[in-house]
Amino acid sequence: MADMMWAGRFSKQVDAGVNAFNSSIAFDGRMYRHDIQGSIAHATMLGDCGIISKEDSLTIIEGLKGILADIDSGKLELDPNAEDIHMFIEAELTKRLGDVGKRLHTSRSRNDQVAVDIRLYLRDEIKEIYALVKELAVTLVNMAIQHTETIMPGYTHLQRAQPITFAHHLMAYVWMLIRDLERLEDTSKRMNYCPLGSGALAGTTYKTNRKQTSDLLGFTAPMPNSLDGVSDRDFCVELGCALSLIMTHLSRFSEEIIMWCSWEFKFVELDDAFATGSSIMPQKKNPDVTELIRGKTGRVNGDLVTLLSMLKGLPLAYNKDMQEDKEAIFDAVDNVKLCVKTFIPMLSTMRVLKDNMRNAAAKGFINATDCADYLVKKGMPFRDAYKITGTLVAQCIEKGVTLETLPIADYKAMTDLFNQDVYEAISLDTCVRERKSEGGPSPDAVKEQISLAQKALKL
């Protein structure tokens, strides 16, 4: 086992089991680019402030760039026995540059180094997730444009309630995703402060320039408190929340698609490329993608709970517990990207079975509210109209007919306010067309919200 960089005060080498237990390179190795980016900014500042010579600063920067190129090309492999990515890169630099390499860590601790690395890493990941979630929202808007006239039942308690359109239903998810995008932007903004220069916890005695490293790395400003600088992981929790909500939205939608694929609904049919068969039942076509998304939501929620539980008892400032932040937030990030990437093509290739949606909307007395509203518009108080309609529905059930096919005589027997025009008032098309209140399902109202969403998505 190699000597540790901090070996000075120790008389023995670390136990091999403890070394493996302690090591984080298996999961923090993925931050090598960001670690080098942070180190280049730090070395630049050290040189400009005269803390190390300009020449050493330039040599270190060139050395770091060489390491980056070699890891990128696969020429240099990460050593699985290294304690973490920070130690690995510094050791490699020293191997290449000798004493000059040993000057890089002046006025810095791994505590502010790792805090900067995660921020830089997550900043890039958030950009990718933002683009994916936006692409999903745009896919849904484009589907909605095709379906402003596609009538389907709207549900409460999973009971047919009132008629809506498929476009209206899809747009509900678009608004959830728009809020997700806002949350990602917000998290990114609040996270974008630079901990570098906080040192181990109590700053440094060197005359550093924290604004310079912050500017070089594209942060808004240095973090104002060195203790908070090294011990803050709020941004991991915030991002974890934002990711959990994205998954929650995908999961609710997945649950609906799973139901819609069943013979009981048959509102949609997945493309064969996005469904799977059974090893025993030849007739099966299973919506595995959506089930996995629903399942992985539990896992991403678990990541969030891991982060919250890890932080809740930690005294200031850095504690090794915080190394546990990475696997949790990386897992959440990886899974959200995977799910959104798979969901988009699955949705856009899904066949919408309009007739089945319409037939389902034609059953279940979905127009009963409209029948009551017909009477209200003729002057009857709503509660009375509600009661009469309820009685009519009960008569229909008994006779095995619908409100559309119940004879006018039965209507008139309840009140003279009913005329032949009731059939037009309770037809499915009228029920949808007339729900033109702001945010409602009528084709015109949905077109309005589509253009609002397009504006929000900057399309």
Give the C-alpha separation, 23 to 57, whole Å. 29
Residue 117 interacting with ligand ARG (CB under 6 A): no
Give the C-alpha separation, 317 to 240, whole Å. 22
Nearer to ligand ARG, 239 or 406 (CB): 239
Give the C-alpha separation, 438 to 363, whole Å. 26
Residue 309 beta carbon to ligand ARG: minimum distance, rounded to whole angstroms: 16
**Segment near ligand ARG (CB under 6 A), from 109-117, 141-149, 190-198, 232-240?**
109-117
Nearer to ligand ARG, 106 or 323 (CB): 323
Of positions 267, 274, 318, 411, contacts ligand ARG by CB under 6 A: 318
Residue 242 beta carbon to ligand ARG: minimum distance, rounded to whole angstroms: 22
Phi, psi of 146 (to 5 degrees): -75, -15
Do 145 and 421 form a contact (C-beta atoms < 8 A)? Answer: no
Nearer to ligand ARG, 38 or 163 (CB): 38
Cβ neighbour number for residue 409 with a 10 Å cutoff: 8
Residue 118 beta carbon to ligand ARG: minimum distance, rounded to whole angstroms: 8
Catalytic residue check, 53:
no
Q: Which of 73, 157, 279, 437 is catalytic?
A: 157
Residue 110 interacting with ligand ARG (CB under 6 A): yes
Catalytic residue check, 42:
no
Residue 24 interacting with ligand ARG (CB under 6 A): yes
- How many Å is the maximal CA-CA distance in the chain? 101
Residue 442 beta carbon to ligand ARG: minimum distance, rounded to whole angstroms: 55
What lies within 8 Å, CB to CB, of 377 at 6+ separation is none
Of positions 323, 359, 419, 430, contacts ligand ARG by CB under 6 A: 323
Please report, for residues 114, 174, 262, 367, 451, the alpha-carbon distance to residue 150 in angstroms, rounded to integers and kept in the order given.
52, 17, 19, 16, 18
Give the C-alpha separation, 329 to 31, whole Å. 13
Residue 198 interacting with ligand ARG (CB under 6 A): no
Please report, for residues 374, 414, 440, 453, the alpha-carbon distance to residue 436 in angstroms, rounded to integers and kept in the order given.
16, 29, 6, 17
Nearer to ligand ARG, 332 or 361 (CB): 332
**Segment near ligand ARG (CB under 6 A), from 106-114, 213-221, 391-399, 412-420?**
106-114
Nearer to ligand ARG, 56 or 325 (CB): 325
Size of the residue set binding ligand ARG (CB under 6 A): 10
Phi, psi of 94 (to 5 degrees): -65, -35
Of positions 104, 258, 322, 406, contacts ligand ARG by CB under 6 A: 322
Q: Which of 53, 278, 309, 451 is catalytic?
A: 278
Give the C-alpha separation, 123 to 236, whole Å. 11
Do 339 and 331 form a contact (C-beta atoms < 8 A)? Answer: no
Residue 84 interacting with ligand ARG (CB under 6 A): yes
The residues binding ligand ARG (CB under 6 A) are 24, 28, 84, 110-111, 114, 318, 320, 322-323
- Give the catalytic positions in this structure: 157, 278
